[in-house]
Structure 1
Amino acid sequence: MTEATEESTRVETYFTDESRMFPALVDGKVPTERFLQASKTIADFVAHFGVAFKPVQTDILGNVEKVRRKYLQDPEAMKYIQDLVDIDLNDHDGKFGYATEGLLWLKRGLEFMLNFLRLLVEGYRENKAKTENMTPALKQAYTNSLKRHHNFIAKQLFNVVVHAAPYRRVLLKAAAYEHEGMEDTVISEIESHLDNFAQNVNAIVEYYYEKNLETRP
């Protein structure tokens, strides 16, 4: 089989499209447009978890929109997320504006999803059978990220929602557009994008610490 034929017969998955993935940093800065598009992609991926996770998807999309509205006021000046934060703070006398507050919760949601995807990949590599039930990984990811920011009611709601998570095989099949036998491929594609995902999230987390917009745990 020729290289061209192999390329033409390649089965597309949700993670095949590179334009959906998080961008490489530019001198330590996060490119705003690509970051927002990738964040929307994560929200769309959450849709594969089922209707119980709709609030999670809606929350991410809502915060993406808050940041995007600010960005579109002057895309060139806010080409990078760090510049957008600076401008939004300046516009609100050093306090949170709708964009910086939206980004705060967006990056928290992304921290949760980054944690989950890492645990999913690591668990799959170590013992595939143990990751069929994704609830433990979701709970651990929540503990590592969002839990400390939520009140009692939000924590209880998450505890209910997490038990409605689909089995791993269902999620990965959905990510492969219902093609059979694609689990290894989807896991490998997710794994290949985790570094850029982490670099984007960590850069924003550190910038919020630097600007005293959030305290370290």
Structure 2
Amino acid sequence: MWNKKNEEKEDFGIIVILWKQVTVKEDGKVPLEPFLTAAKEVLRVVDAFGSGFRIVKNDIAGNIKKLYRANQTVHAETLQELIIAENSPDGLATVALLWLKRAFQFIASFLRRLVVTDKSLEQCVTEAYNCTLRPCHSAVIQKVFWGGVKLAPSRERFYRKLHPDLNIAKAKIEEFLIELHDPLCCIVQFFFQRELEDQCWGDEVYQRKDSSEWLKVSCEQDSV
């Protein structure tokens, strides 16, 4: 039975609250501490996939820890400052943020499809994976991923793992996508501009704009 205690502990809405606190600076830099704090809560989304996506969850959690560790000596205020200070395409922070960015591109692509189309959860995952993580994964990792997809829940079950009310779950996902967009957009652009990414392009509108307009554009694109 769903009760207030469960709601306080498990309500997907906490992710929206934390991502609202990730305020991108005028120069496009993303505050490090608020971002990593909010990033931890994204693991709730991965948990809703079930045990089949444990590899994705471990990857996200591991890269968050690496970024914290890399910043122990730099004490950067923003993610971009940390990467610039490291000044190495193979550095701990650079590689960690690269893969965290890729994971979030996949999650954003998947969730957008889920809320703006009637496609099955498996189809949404497949399409999102093909345009984000798949080009970056070896054949072995792809095989593991596809194995996890077979264990993915239905749309309804996925929603209910985030919130018992399906309408609230969907609304919270839309809010999360809106709050995630600008921080993710700035990180994506940063990696492309510094030529640190040449595999994960994604299919999102990676341009900062009014959040409601972006979601509307995304819906229109998927309806074509």
Q: Tell whether the structures are fold-level matches, with TM greater than 0.5.
A: yes
CA shift at 1:96, angstroms?
Answer: 2.1
Q: Does 1:209 align with 2:176?
A: no
Structure 2, unaligned runs of 5 or more? 202-224
- 1:169·1:183 contact (CA, 8 Å) conserved in 2? yes
- Superposition pairs for residues 91-106 of structure 1, below 5 Å? 94-106=88-100
Once residues 187 and 156 of structure 1 are traced to their aligned partners in structure 2, the CA distance between those partners, rounded to angstroms, is 30
Distance 1:85 1:150, change over 3 A: same
CA shift at 1:16, angstroms?
Answer: 4.1
Question: Letter of the aligned partner of 1:112 in structure 2?
Answer: F
* Residue 24 (structure 1) aligns with: 23
TM-score (norm. length: structure 1)? 0.81
Q: Does 1:121 align with 2:107?
A: no
Once residues 21 and 172 of structure 1 are traced to their aligned partners in structure 2, the CA distance between those partners, rounded to angstroms, is 19
- 2:89·2:95 contact (CA, 8 Å) conserved in 1? no
CA shift at 1:105, angstroms?
Answer: 0.7
Q: Secondary structure at the match of 2:42?
A: helix
- 1:43·1:58 contact (CA, 8 Å) conserved in 2? no
From 144, 150, 158, the equivalent of 1:163 is 150
From 100, 123, 142, the equivalent of 2:129 is 142
Distance 1:139 1:17, change over 3 A: closer
Q: Deviations over 1:134-162 (max 9, x none)?
A: 10000011012111111222222222211
Structure 1, unaligned runs of 5 or more? 1-7, 124-129
Question: Letter of the aligned partner of 1:204 in structure 2?
Answer: I
TM-score (norm. length: structure 2)? 0.78
* Residue 174 (structure 2) aligns with: 191
- 1:21·1:41 contact (CA, 8 Å) conserved in 2? no
From 86, 97, 100, the equivalent of 2:84 is 86
- 2:16·2:176 contact (CA, 8 Å) conserved in 1? no
Once residues 144 and 95 of structure 1 are traced to their aligned partners in structure 2, the CA distance between those partners, rounded to angstroms, is 23
Question: Letter of the aligned partner of 2:38 in structure 1?
Answer: A
Aligned-residue CA RMSD in angstroms? 2.0
Once residues 82 and 153 of structure 2 are traced to their aligned partners in structure 1, the CA distance between those partners, rounded to angstroms, is 37
* Residue 4 (structure 1) aligns with: none
Once residues 204 and 146 of structure 1 are traced to their aligned partners in structure 2, the CA distance between those partners, rounded to angstroms, is 16
